[in-house]
Amino acid sequence: MRVATSSIYNLGVFNMNNRQVDLFKLQNQLSTGRKILTPSDDPVSSARSLDLTQATRQNEQYVTNVKYANDTMALTEANLQHAIGVIQDIQQLAVQSGATTLTNAEKRMVEADIRGKYQELLGLANTTDGNGLYLFAGFKGDTKPFNEQGYGNVRYDGDQGQRAVQVSPSRQIPVSDSGSDIFVKIKNGNGTFTTAQTQPELPRTVRVGDGGSIQFSRDPAGGFVASDYRVDWDSVSGNYTITRADGATTVASHAALVGGVSALGMVITAQGNQPTAVNGTATFDAKLQANGGTGVVSPGVVADPVKWANPLNNQNYRVQFHSVPDPNNPAKMLTSYDIIDNDTASANYNTSLIDGWNYTTSTASAANPTATRTDSAGNPNSFPRKYTAGADIIFSQQTGETGALYPGWDFGGKISMDGVPKDGDSFSLEASRDYDLFSTIGDFSAALERYEETNLGGATFQNKLNTTLSNLDNALTRILTIQAGIGSRQKEGESVQSTNEDLNVQYKTTISKLTDLDYAQAISDFTQTQTYLDAARKSFSSIQNLSLFQYIS
């Protein structure tokens, strides 16, 4: 074979050129530290590194987001912690107020304390965050969520929105809780039903025409009769005439009423001016059956929620007491009770669950025609169940009972009663409903204000206190639950955070593996290529020196 002289040059240049391209690229890699200079160097890795860079950037954003979420939740948490303290204070005050040794004045002092706590809670509920947004207003960040219409009557103007923060590609953590969830959605009573003494009939306020208001409250001296009352104004005589439904009346001038008058078992007090009209009439109803006894009802328990959920159970009853002197021992009272459907919308309204007696029509049910409420002499007879102080009142059919409204009924709930109920006293049982914290406190304040230092007032108060304490307890449970939720979300945030940070490290490692230069390898490659280039140059120069012409002279 032969070689053309031009081939020696061409090939030499071609090969040296290739080596130089290699060296140039290696030098470029060494100076940038990047393995992939253009996507063509490693298309798959460079596309993957683009995707991973996005994932990393996103992840970094999630890390920021989690921090933001934790800050917001910490603020909520701190406020809730504060609220818990206040509620516990109120609980303590409530328990304290239950002491029978407290005088009326002392109770009023407790009430003043409670009003202070109430304002503190209202302030907490309207807390703003660093941006001036209300923390507990849901989405309506710049709307003041809790607006007081009157003491104990607070309107929630926020919404139920829960603000959320994206903390991972698939997870949004809620960072806020709406005020309605925290302060409003609190079930009263025992959470399933609530018991209460039937409402007191007094005080009442009326106005005649444009005259000032006239307040009727119970005279501690007694003599009050539950009834409808009418107030007539006669401008000629300048007197009010107050007439009870049974005809008993009392007459007093406006001025006298301003000073306060005790009559008809009531203390009557007027304010402001007398009516300008010639004549005027106003009526008021003070015949709601107030309990006269000392019966105190417990919040009750549902032992079996499945039985309680029986569709027959309309969860609206009253336990009515009947008390007659023992014929054998007139000094001793025989007390019995009945459980009566109290739902005005129910077909069985006013019907005994125990023996089917209908109190509206005073008739026995077909199922139990022998049921009766009078004895042979026509006097009121005992109710179907005998009352024992401190014993349970069970919402199911007991042995020996016949003619039950729902045969074999068992609603799985019970309440217990203590004290001595008077004849006609009754307690209601209704399904629990949401009752906001401010109403609970307001109700209790009202109970404290109206506290009367009699046995009777004591029992009324005690019943109110029981209700309040269980409502406060529910509120506390509610806030603790919310707090636990925040806690677990914070935990989740932390765990997401550490996952995100781990992922960041992992992404960065992968990106580095994909795109970063292995310096040892590159330097070794560089040296090797340099050696090749060197050898090519040297051999080239020696080959091109070899020419026959050098020897021809």
Partner 1 sequence: MGNGIYGIAVSGLKAAQIGLTTTSHNIANASTPGYNRQVIGQSAVEPTPTGGGFLGRGAQVDTITRIYNEFVGRQVQTAQAQAGYLTNLKSHLADLDNLLADPSAGFSPSLQDFFTGVQTVANNPQDVTARQSLLGLAESMITKLQTVDSRMQTLRSDVNTEIQATVGNINSITGQIAHLNDQIILSTTVGNNLPNDLLDKRDHLVTQLNQYVKSTVIKQTDGSYNIFIGNGQNLVVGNRSFTLGAVQAVDDPSRLDVAYQQFGVTAVIPSEMITGGSLGGVLEFRKEVLDVSQNSLGRVALALAQTFNEQHRKGQDLNGQYGGNFFQFPTERISAQPRVGGNQVSLTAELTSVRPFVESDYNIALDNTGTNYTITRLTDGQTATISLASGELTSATGFNAFGVRFKLAINPNVNPPTGPDLLAGENIGISFRPAASEVIANARNQGNADLQVSISDISKLTTSDYEFIFDGPDYRVVRREDGAQFNINASAWANPPIEIDGLSFRINAGNMVAGDRFTVLPTRGFADEMTVMIKDTAKVAAAAPIRTSSDTFSIASSANAANTGGALISSVSASVAAQGGVAAKKIEILFTAAGTFDIRDANTGTVLAANQAYTSGSNISYNGWTVQITDGGGPPAAGDRFVIDPRKNTGTANISAGVVTTMPINTDMKTPVAIRFETATRFNLVNPSTGEVIDPATGNRFQPTTGNIVDRSGNIVSGGNSLDPATGNVVDGGMTVQFSSQAYTSNGNISYNGWTVQITGVPAARDTFLVEPNTGGKADSRNMLALGKLQTTNILSGGTASYQGAYSKLVADVGVRANQVNINEAAQSQLLVQSQTKLAEASGVNLDEEASNLLIYQQAYLASSRVIQIAQKAFEEVLNIGR
Minimal distance, residue 372 CB to partner 1, in Å? 26
Cα 130 to chain center, whole Å? 24
User: What totals of helices (H) and strands (E) does the chain contain, helices first?
Assistant: 9, 21
The single residue listed with the structure tokens 């009346």 is: 249
Pick from 81, 213, 454, 527 the residue near partner 1 by CB under 8 A.
Answer: 213
Which of 472, 418, 419, 427 has the alpha carbon at shortest distance from 445? 472
Cα end-to-end distance, the chain, whole Å: 28
Pick from 161, 191, 220, 485 the residue near partner 1 by CB under 8 A.
Answer: 161
Rule CB under 8 A: say whether 154 interacts with partner 1.
Answer: yes
How many other CB atoms are there within 10 angstroms of residue 52's CB atom? 19
Rule CB under 8 A: say whether 12 interacts with partner 1.
Answer: no
Comparison of 176 and 426: residue with beta carbon closer to partner 1:
176
Rule CB under 8 A: say whether 200 interacts with partner 1.
Answer: yes
d(C-alpha 246, C-alpha 203), whole Å = 20
Pick from 435, 461, 507, 526 the residue near partner 1 by CB under 8 A.
Answer: 435
Rule CB under 8 A: say whether 181 interacts with partner 1.
Answer: yes
Classify residue 407 by burial, with Cβ atoms within 10 Å: 0-12, 13-18, 19+.
Answer: exposed
Tell me which stretch binds partner 1 (CB under 8 A): 46-54, 105-113, 316-324, 530-538: 46-54
Query: What are the tokens at 457?
Result: 């007032």
Minimal distance, residue 136 CB to partner 1, in Å? 11
Residue 1: which residues within 8 A CB-CB, separation 6 or more?
none
Rule CB under 8 A: say whether 5 interacts with partner 1.
Answer: yes
Rule CB under 8 A: say whether 139 interacts with partner 1.
Answer: yes
Rule CB under 8 A: say whether 306 interacts with partner 1.
Answer: no
Q: Which of residues 267-296 bind partner 1 (CB under 8 A)?
A: 280-285, 288
d(C-alpha 95, C-alpha 93), whole Å = 5
Classify residue 386 by burial, with Cβ atoms within 10 Å: 0-12, 13-18, 19+.
Answer: exposed
Cα 529 to chain center, whole Å? 75
Q: Which of residues 364-423 bind partner 1 (CB under 8 A)?
A: none
Secondary structure class of 244 (helix, strand, coil): strand
How many other CB atoms are there within 10 angstroms of residue 316's CB atom? 17
Pick from 206, 394, 480, 503 the residue near partner 1 by CB under 8 A.
Answer: 206
Rule CB under 8 A: say whether 149 interacts with partner 1.
Answer: yes
Rule CB under 8 A: say whether 38 interacts with partner 1.
Answer: yes
Q: Which of residues 65-84 bind partner 1 (CB under 8 A)?
A: 65, 68
Rule CB under 8 A: say whether 153 interacts with partner 1.
Answer: yes
Pick from 20, 27, 28, 54 the residue near partner 1 by CB under 8 A.
Answer: 54
Rule CB under 8 A: say whether 548 interacts with partner 1.
Answer: yes
Stretch 223-262: interaction string toward partner 1, x if CB under 8 A = -----x-x--------------------------------
Q: Which of residues 324-353 bind partner 1 (CB under 8 A)?
A: 344
- The answer for 54, left when phi > 0, alpha when psi is -120 to 50, beta otherwise, is alpha
Tell me which stretch binds partner 1 (CB under 8 A): 111-119, 141-149, 217-225, 335-343: 141-149
Rule CB under 8 A: say whether 1 interacts with partner 1.
Answer: yes
Pick from 16, 84, 89, 166 the residue near partner 1 by CB under 8 A.
Answer: 166
Tell me which stretch binds partner 1 (CB under 8 A): 93-101, 149-157, 332-340, 407-415: 149-157
Comparison of 150 and 408: residue with beta carbon closer to partner 1:
150
Rule CB under 8 A: say whether 452 interacts with partner 1.
Answer: no
- Count of residues for the chain? 553
Query: What are the tokens at 344?
Result: 């005005």
Q: Write the single-letter amino acid at 488.
A: S
Comparison of 333 and 503: residue with beta carbon closer to partner 1:
503
Rule CB under 8 A: say whether 37 interacts with partner 1.
Answer: yes
Pick from 439, 499, 506, 510 the residue near partner 1 by CB under 8 A.
Answer: 439
Q: Are 285 and 279 in contact (CB under 8 A)?
A: no
Q: Write the single-letter amino acid at 527.
A: T
Minimal distance, residue 187 CB to partner 1, in Å? 9
Q: Which parts of 371-434 are beta strand (E)?
A: 385-386, 392-396, 410-418, 426-431
Comparison of 321 and 435: residue with beta carbon closer to partner 1:
435
- The answer for 378, left when phi > 0, alpha when psi is -120 to 50, beta otherwise, is left
Q: Which parts of 287-419 are beta strand (E)?
A: 296-297, 301-302, 316-325, 333-341, 385-386, 392-396, 410-418
Pick from 83, 93, 94, 165 the residue near partner 1 by CB under 8 A.
Answer: 165
Give the phi and the psi of residue 83 in degrees, each rounded to 5: -60, -40
Count of residues of this chain found to bind partner 1 when the rule CB under 8 A is applied: 100
Pick from 58, 217, 504, 530 the residue near partner 1 by CB under 8 A.
Answer: 58
